[in-house]
Chains A and B, each alone.
Chain A
Amino acid sequence: MRITCPHCGERDHREFYYKGHALALERPAADAGEAAWDDYVYLRENPAGVTRDLWYHEGGCGAWVVVTRSTLTHEVLSTEPASEARA
């Protein structure tokens, strides 16, 4: 699998560490309540199709990258730096 790092360009995925769904960027407020936190930390939509997930270019430039891709075909649709993804 090859992933385009927004800084480095297309790279073998062996350079990347995978964290999970990009909803990790949407951290709830401390007082958001039990359901919101359960959603954030544990529950997953886990789609069979397009998903957005977080990869860390650990063996490369150290950027956290949001990757939009298909879990069925592994096709990568787009990538962007996590630092710009939340806006």
Chain B
Amino acid sequence: MRFSGLRVLKEGLTGNKGWRPHWRDPEPKPEYDIVIIGGGGHGLSTAYYLARDHGLKNIAVLERGYIGGGNIGRNTTIVRANYFLQGNSEFYSHSLKLWEGLEEDLNYNVMHSQRGIINLFHSDGQRDAAARRGNMMISQGDDAILLGREELRKMVPYLNFDDLRFPLYGGLYHPRGGTARHDAVAWGYARGADQRGVDLIQNCEVTGIDIENGKVKGVQTVRGPIRAKKVAMVAAGRSSQVAAMAGMRLPIESHILQAFVTEGLKPVIDNVITFGMGHFYISQSDKGGLVFGGDLDFYASYAARGNLPTVEHVMEAGMALMPMIGKAKVLRSWGGIMDMSPDGSPIIDKTHIDGLYVNCGWNYGGFKAVPGSGSVFAHLIATGNYHPASTRHRLDRFRTGRGIIDEEGKGSQHNLH
């Protein structure tokens, strides 16, 4: 079924009786060409692009709970391509281009909103770093504008220009950055993959990975064994446990990231604003809630909930930067489990086991990567070659020291990225 305004009109006039499931709930088959472990954003988009770009159909996505139930269902919905290191720059640029055609491609309104992102800076040194980043973006063919203090004031007059602890020098503006409706992205990819013949199997936890003579043979699940020629691990939040089934240890630590939404309010914040000195970022959803977050809770955890010191720090940053949001009331807070890698950048690679692939380590930037990640991972799985936009996200870069992509410059301590 194609979605359109006309369709909505027609259904509305006939009692909305014609709607059909967005995806099937098939029984797992005994064998697939490719099994994808993880029905989150990255798993679903990988399946979608395997089908769309490589004509592969005999694919299953195995999801332990419900599709889209991981971090794609609990993030702050920001989409951007403002990285400054080789490896990330071309990858996120690729991803953003896919975002820009996503609605037509999926025939699903994911409400991708290019409302612009402003990264604030507060010193000459930070301006230099912002300039380095902006220049990289431009050289990659993306958009970046360096805003001075007065230009910034025109765009976002409600920031604290008078007595902010770290005064506002300006911002790096990325007009094509923005937000998207996170759940809809998962659903859109799920529907698209399903329409192309991919089996999405929910409530199907993988309990083992079958490996013989260094080659992957399939997986064990709570719904029985499934044979597969290739297996892709895309289970951010649980990457280490899945990899352990294949006898692997990953350079990943799992950490909690909390996020917050306020009650619905009339439009007041038009862009995405990030306040690096306060580890704070905020946007306003189309529904009116202020959606914002900050830094990690900092300790390794799988509890998917955080604690108060981080909550308070995030709110302090908000009050410092924009005291006009003080009366907005926090409605809900939640925590996601982040795959923190030792350089803050993802891993998209083959493993030493033939036919076994890994996609993990998204730190807290996985949402914007969903289209790009699926596209380059599908390319790798289907062709065996690295996609040109993702030649550097290698698993062995830490061992060799070649091509470490450390945007924060914090080194090997996972929680500092």
Contacts and interface: CB of A to CB of B under 8 A. Distances in A.
A43 B299 contact: no
A39 to B, nearest CB: 8
B113 interface: no
B412 to A, nearest CB: 5
Contact of B300 (A13, A35, A53): A53
A18 B415 contact: yes
8 contacts: A41-B412, A42-B398, A43-B249, A44-B249, A45-B249, A46-B253, A48-B254, A71-B300
B303 A74 contact: yes
B88 interface: no
B241 A48 contact: yes
B31 to A, nearest CB: 29
Nearest to A40: B412
Interface of B: 238, 240-241, 244, 249-254, 298-303, 307-309, 342, 398-399, 412-415
Q: Which of A14, A41, A48 has the most CB of B within 10 A?
A: A48
Given A44-B253, A48-B240, A71-B303, 20 more contacts: A1-B307, A13-B299, A13-B309, A14-B309, A17-B298, A18-B298, A18-B299, A20-B414, A34-B399, A35-B399, A41-B412, A42-B398, A44-B249, A46-B249, A48-B254, A53-B299, A55-B299, A71-B254, A72-B302, A74-B301
Contact of B303 (A21, A41, A55, A72): A72
Main DSSP-derived SS at the A contact region? mixed
A61 to B, nearest CB: 18
A7 interface: no
A46 B236 CA distance: 13
